[in-house]
Amino acid sequence: MTDRVTGLVKWSDHQWQCYFLEKGSVRVALVDRRQQVLQAATKSFSLFGYKATTMDQVAKIANVGKGTIYTFFTNKEQLFDEILHDVVIEMKIIADREIRRDKPFFDNLHRVLDALLEFRSEHELFIKLSQENREFGTPQAGEGLDKIENVVLEYLEREVEHAIRQGEMKPCDPKIVSVVMFRLYIVLTTELNKTHTPLDKEQIKAYFHLFLAEGLAQ
């Protein structure tokens, strides 16, 4: 026997199992089953919400036995947390991609908040969780949305600290300022639309700069 032998065993058109024989031991890697379960769970949570999603539904969408899900995840809560973890990572990648250190703080701020809020508004999971939290007050849906919001607030806090060190902002409490910035952006981009003609991006940027950079006093 050679030092390593790799063989592929076809399970179905989309699923296969890879056996690695190394130094007399057998390691079995279920290459894409875990990801398949995660994708199915994301679809289920996005369609039915947290409360109405069951492991049976996830298994049906994933076209696997329910036992396969429990191979990777202990319960629905752990599955949901894993999906949120993946979303958080994606949001952090988006934020980091929009940061340009050669640009002023407020330019970076607008770009990142635009990108993150657009991502949140278009992601089906966020839409369903927001609806479920609003209509039924499901605790897990609210907690999931809080985790996503905390990603934005942590980014803002970090960038405020950086702006203070660079002399672009006056000394202040980054935690308080980041919350005010986020709430103001939500008001200008979302809440205001309920009673006012929606502002375009340039108007939002102008008001944001007015309130936070210039001030209203003459």
Q: For residue range 27-67, what is the model confidence (pLDDT) as tens digits? A: 344 448 889 999 999 999 999 999 999 999 999 999 999 99
Domain residue limits, the chain: 4-31, 75-214
Q: To which residue do tokens 């024989």 refer?
A: 21
> Which residue, 13, 208, 10, is CA-closest to 111?
208
Report how far residue 20's alpha carbon sits from residue 178's, in angstroms, rounded to the nearest whole number.
Answer: 50
Compute the mean pLDDT over every residue in the chain, rounded to the nearest whole number: 84
**Residue 207 — pLDDT band, cuts 50, 70, 90?**
very high
- What pTM did the predictor assign? 0.76
Report how far residue 146's alpha carbon sits from residue 150's, in angstroms, rounded to the nearest whole number.
Answer: 6
Provide the token pair at 206. Answer: 């102008």
Cα dihedral 49, 54, 55, 59 sign = negative
- Coil, helix or strand at residue 65: coil
Assess whether pLDDT exceeds 70 at residue 103: yes
Report pLDDT for 120: 82
**Residue 201 — pLDDT band, cuts 50, 70, 90?**
confident
**Burial zone of 67 (CB within 10 Å; 0-12 exposed, 13-18 middle, 19+ buried):** exposed
Higher pLDDT, 153 or 9: 153
Higher pLDDT, 11 or 148: 148
**Burial zone of 217 (CB within 10 Å; 0-12 exposed, 13-18 middle, 19+ buried):** exposed
Name the CATH superfamily housing domain 75-214: Tetracycline Repressor, domain 2 (1.10.357.10)
CB 16 within 8 A of CB 9: yes
- Coil, helix or strand at residue 98: helix
> b or e along 30-45 (b: 16 or more beta carbons within 10 Å of the residue's beta carbon)?
beebbebbbebbbbbb
| CA quadruple 174, 176, 179, 185: dihedral, nearest 10 | -80
> Which residue, 27, 40, 26, is CA-closest to 68?
40
**Residue 137 — pLDDT band, cuts 50, 70, 90?**
very high
